[in-house]
Amino acid sequence: MKNKITKLFNIKYPIIQAGMVWCSGWRLASAVSNAGALGIIGAGSMSPDILREHVQKCHLNTKNNFAVNIPLFSKYTSAHIDVIIKENVPVVFTSAGNPEIWTKKLKSHGIIVVHVISSLRFALKAVKSDVDALVCEGFEAGGHNGREETTSFCLIPLIAKNINLPLIAAGGISSGKSMFAAMVLGADGVQIGTRFVVSEESSAHINFKKKILSLKQGDTTLTLKEITPVRMIKNDFYSKIETAYQNNVSVDYLTKLLGKGRAKKGMFLGDLKEGELEIGQVSTLLDSIKTASSIIKDIINEFNSVKLKASKF
Amino acid sequence: MKNKITKLFNIKYPIIQAGMVWCSGWRLASAVSNAGALGIIGAGSMSPDILREHVQKCHLNTKNNFAVNIPLFSKYTSAHIDVIIKENVPVVFTSAGNPEIWTKKLKSHGIIVVHVISSLRFALKAVKSDVDALVCEGFEAGGHNGREETTSFCLIPLIAKNINLPLIAAGGISSGKSMFAAMVLGADGVQIGTRFVVSEESSAHINFKKKILSLKQGDTTLTLKEITPVRMIKNDFYSKIETAYQNNVSVDYLTKLLGKGRAKKGMFLGDLKEGELEIGQVSTLLDSIKTASSIIKDIINEFNSVKLKASKF
């Protein structure tokens, strides 16, 4: 299995484990990279010192390439990038911001830069910034997302048609079937988040993992569009957001309601009521906690069997 | 190309043209059926007399199977079903209601019954009603839709995994690639709406067709969830809905704002400002008005070429 994405990252399978706040530290990232995919450390929930520790441990635990994801709105962005350069991180995924500011600096240190987008408009900006590849994230994805609400079925072909860069599809992908479908629609590889949150090596709290496995259709929603749109589980905290909307509150009020530490409280500390629980729609299809390596094996096995089946359509 | 869907409807390709208010009369339905797919007359915008006329003309213009779509909330449902039985319509697609009431009667007259759902819960109900097949409609689809907002990427595998009936995927499908991807995810066939609105034979107003071809990402939205969720273009009428939401109005107010005849005004009479313009997200990928027969040929050609490409993944 050789294509633009496996060559770009020097990996065996065109699978990327999404960088996720509170869920993807060195343990998950190194396990994924050891299993032939690309693991990502999610720096969004880390101070620069914590990030340094995770990068060093990741280097110790895998000889394969791995990446760090940086949400560009973070106050630590500049310090994170210093850590990344100093600690020889080979690949960086940037998201939630303008890639123009940092891409040149990262690339001048030989770092591969990938940018996450959810619209053609931002994809075109990322191309101008000279990034090496794109992740296009559909409406069904967990966590932060775009305002256009474009689903993977419509977004992947739109970006593939208009942009000539290696393309990684994200949103709604957890299996060999959905990986194959994303590639049919024009992606060269896939980024998988939700499935890896429910892995042995993910640092998500066990309460959160169990909650994910119990989710039914409609149990997640894209909300807080006035701040940054985010897909989360409809729990008690979400009910408060809903009530706030019914009362026509200001953006300031919503920002205060969200407050600080909600994501940590929910995903890392396991407070299912008051925490912010970011996860994708595809959670309804999941029923087990497995090691990252088993997850990747399952995906590749299903990919191969669906490939055979599809040849007979 | 033989599978459960081609056998069920006795058609050449597992492609169904969606039954759509104001857009799919006998002209479109017969053209589609003549081209080897299944055409559907959308009865939602027709009185029983008008429906009779369309069915008779459809019979005159094609010897192949075709269908009628009935939204079950219509005041005409019972009268529509009388017309369908009397005029020997071979296939009925029911939507937006409980299929339990009518399925038995239709089947007792040898009519094939397919029900449209957007959730597993309703799919299970439809199975109990003994329908012959299901259409699962993702969040990206135009027109009426589900409250769960589940996208095709997540909905198709969910229904395929849990329901043992021939499955037709709808929402986000306009091309051979997306048809192939839907089948990879577990569908046996596809229902295509938006692409056929922009066909020569569609009865959509030319203003509406041209507007569709100009749409960009984010130009449609799922709204009026308090009444029946519907995906439409964000035009002047939609701005009024948005203002109404900001003013926290009642459902009654929304119902009055929607009023009667909005869909006809927009889609059939071409009032792009004040009309309700129902269309899917996939409109961003479209750039031409073609005959139904060319559309189907394009889809099948692309399906075959993507099949070859995918065999090398």
Residues A18 and A137 in one domain: yes
As a whole number of angstroms, the distance between CA B84 and CA B35 comes to: 23
Of B151, B186, B217, the CB nearest to A152: B151
Residues B135 and B236 in one domain: no
Residues A173 and A224 in one domain: no
- The alpha-carbon gap from B116 to the nearest alpha carbon of chain A, in Å, equals 17
Task: List CB contacts (< 8 A) between A177 and chain B.
Answer: 157, 184-186
Residues A182 and A225 in one domain: no
Looking at this protein, which amino acid is placed at residue A20? M
Task: List CB contacts (< 8 A) between A151 and chain B.
Answer: 138-140, 151-153, 171-172, 281
Instruction: Please count the structural domains in chain A.
Output: 2
* CATH assignment of the domain containing A141: 3.20.20.70
CB A204 within 8 A of CB A197: yes
- Best of B6, B15, B145, B184 to substitute, by most chain A Cβ atoms within 10 angstroms, is B184
- Rg of the Cα atoms in chain A: 18
> Are A140 and B153 in contact (CB < 8 Å)?
yes
- Segment B99-108, tens digit of pLDDT: 998 999 999 9
Looking at this protein, which amino acid is placed at residue B138? G
Task: List CB contacts (< 8 A) between A161 and chain B.
Answer: 285
Residues A153 and A217 in one domain: no
Q: Using a CB–CB cutoff of 8 Å, tell me whether B22 touches chain A.
A: no
> Are B153 and A154 in contact (CB < 8 Å)?
no
Under the banding of pLDDT at 50, 70 and 90, the label for residue B246 is confident
Q: Using a CB–CB cutoff of 8 Å, tell me whether B217 touches chain A.
A: yes
- The alpha-carbon gap from A41 to the nearest alpha carbon of chain B, in Å, equals 26
- Best of B3, B153, B307 to substitute, by most chain A Cβ atoms within 10 angstroms, is B153
Q: Using a CB–CB cutoff of 8 Å, tell me whether A161 touches chain B.
A: yes
Residues A43 and A191 in one domain: yes
Residues A114 and A81 in one domain: yes
> Are B151 and A140 in contact (CB < 8 Å)?
yes
Residues B15 and B112 in one domain: yes
- Taking Cα atoms as reference points, which of A222, A232, A213 lies closest to residue A283? A213
CB B171 within 8 A of CB B185: no
Residues A91 and A214 in one domain: no
Q: Which residue has the higher pLDDT, B74 or B62?
A: B62
- Segment A70-102, tens digit of pLDDT: 999 889 999 999 999 999 999 999 998 899 989
Residues B256 and B292 in one domain: no
Of A281, A303, A310, the CB nearest to B151: A281
pLDDT at A208: 98
As a whole number of angstroms, the distance between CA A109 and CA A224 comes to: 37
CB A100 within 8 A of CB A126: no
ipTM beyond cut 0.95:
yes
Of B120, B172, B310, the CB nearest to A184: B310
Q: Using a CB–CB cutoff of 8 Å, tell me whether A6 touches chain B.
A: no
Q: Using a CB–CB cutoff of 8 Å, tell me whether B287 touches chain A.
A: no
> Are A158 and B285 in contact (CB < 8 Å)?
yes
Task: List CB contacts (< 8 A) between B150 and chain A.
Answer: 140, 217-218, 281, 284
Structure token digits, residue B273: 């400002």
Q: Using a CB–CB cutoff of 8 Å, tell me whether A147 touches chain B.
A: yes
Of A120, A151, A157, the CB nearest to B138: A151
> Are A217 and B158 in contact (CB < 8 Å)?
yes
SS3 sequence of chain B: CCCHHHHHHCCCCCEEECCCCCCCCHHHHHHHHHCCCEEEEEHHHCCHHHHHHHHHHHHHHCCCCEEEEEECCCCCHHHHHHHHHHCCCCEEEEECCCCHHHHHHHHHCCCEEEEEECCHHHHHHHHHCCCCEEEEECCCCCEECCCCCCCHHHHHHHHHHHCCCCEEEECCCCCHHHHHHHHHCCCCEEEECHHHHCECCCCCCHHHHHHHHCCCCCCEEEECCCCCCEEEECCHHHHHHHHHHHCCCCHHHHHHHHCCCHHHHHHHCCCCCCCCCECCHHHHHCCCCECHHHHHHHHHHHHHHHHHHHCCC
Q: Could you count the other beta carbons within 10 Å of the beta carbon of residue B78? A: 12
Q: Using a CB–CB cutoff of 8 Å, tell me whether A58 touches chain B.
A: no
The secondary element (H helix, E strand) that includes residue A137 is strand A133-137
Residues B44 and B119 in one domain: yes
Question: For every one of its 313 residues, what pLDDT tens digit does chain A have, with 9 covering 90 and above?
Answer: 899 999 999 999 999 999 999 999 999 999 999 999 999 999 999 999 999 999 999 999 999 999 999 999 889 999 999 999 999 999 999 998 899 989 999 999 999 999 999 999 999 999 999 999 999 999 999 999 999 999 999 999 999 999 999 999 999 999 999 999 999 999 999 999 999 999 999 999 999 999 999 999 999 999 999 899 999 999 999 999 999 988 888 999 999 999 889 999 999 999 999 999 999 999 999 999 999 999 999 999 999 999 999 999 9
pTM of this prediction? 0.97
- Per DSSP, the three-state class of A43 is helix
Residues B25 and B149 in one domain: yes
- Print the domain residue range for A247: 206-282
Buried b (16+ CB within 10 A) or exposed e, A4-42: ebbebbebbbbbbbbbbbbbbbbbbbbbbbbbbbbbbbb
